[in-house]
Structure 1
Amino acid sequence: MMTKAEIILVEDDPDDVYLFMSACEHLEPQPHVAVLGNGAELMQLVEQEDCRDKVILIDLNMPLMDGLETMAKLNAFPEKDTLCFIGFTTSSNQHDVKRAYELGAKSFISKPGTLVEMIDLLQTLSRYWFKFNRFYKEV
């Protein structure tokens, strides 16, 4: 059984947000997506609500607080080990990949450039994280 997909997209580029949201319209069930424009907005959200059963996709190149800085700040939260944050970027720089994993990223995904590729990625991501994966939450 697939639980309702809850995705937080931390992305400042309106074109990337549009492509992502357009792909989501083709998914069944459609995920609930919260779009945040930068890492500072994510920090506020994580402080205010439990995000341990959500997938957080973090772009690396953003104003105010970039993705790697955001991942570093997520490490200050007590639930950091159970937060599912993923690097989601156009970068394929091996330093960025290594640093994201060092900071606790659960995965590092290169952004697809077409709608068909984005749909495929989001179907796979949703199936894995929300059908087969089990998030940890204390009861």
Structure 2
Amino acid sequence: MATILMADDDEDDRLLACEAMGEAGLSHDLRFVADGQELVDYLTRGGAYAPPAAAPRPAIVLLDVNMPRMNGWEALVSIRRHPELKGLPVVMMTTAWTDRDVRRCYELGANSFIQKPGSFGELVRILENVDRYWFGTVSLPGA
């Protein structure tokens, strides 16, 4: 069972992600942080995440673009600056986006860009596709 870390400030989106994982029949360890700073703390074992048991290494990060304190763009830049995190797959997600946002995502080192779905059924489908691709198609370090 892989750990998926989702950074999203919207509590409803986090709840829907849990429900969609269940609906899709996925048994990954889905963990959440509420903003980019908390994400960086989790990944670098800062603050409350210092004990390894508090922050198992994720196989993939789902990163919302629009968050308080440190947005997704800033968090992605911070992640890519850490040598031990450079290879960590990061999938950027947002509701509203432009072609410029998509380009920026890849220029900053994201592995994928996904538009947040408008319905629960679409979310289930996206999570199934994320699972199929990241855990069934590609090879991840440590797998």
Q: TM-score, normalised by structure 1?
A: 0.88
CA distance in 1, matches of 2:4, 2:85: 17
Greater RCO, CA 8 A, separation 6+: 1
Q: Structure 1 residues 29 and 87 mapped into 2: Cα distance closer, same or farther (>3 Å)?
A: closer
Instruction: Give % identity.
Output: 33
What number of residue pairs does the alignment pair up? 133
1:50 positional shift: 6.8
Match of 1:18 in 2: 15
Q: TM-score, normalised by structure 2?
A: 0.85
Provide Cα deviations, 1:91-129, integer angstroms capped at 9, x if missing partner.
221221111111110000001111111111111110110
1:29 positional shift: 3.4
Match of 1:102 in 2: 107
Q: Which stretches of structure 1, 4 residues or more, deviate above 4 A after TM superposition?
A: none
Match of 2:49 in 1: none
1:87 positional shift: 0.7
**Greater share of residues in helix:** 2
Could you say what secondary structure the match of 1:61 adopts?
Answer: coil
Could you say what secondary structure the match of 1:83 adopts?
Answer: coil
Stretches of structure 2 lacking an aligned partner (at least 5 in a row): 46-54
Stretches of structure 1 lacking an aligned partner (at least 5 in a row): none
**Structure 1 letter corresponding to 2:79:** L
CA distance in 2, matches of 1:11, 1:67: 9
1:70-81 equivalences in 2 (<5 Å): 70-81=75-86
- Of the three residues 55, 76, 98, the one matched with 2:60 is 55
1:20 positional shift: 1.2
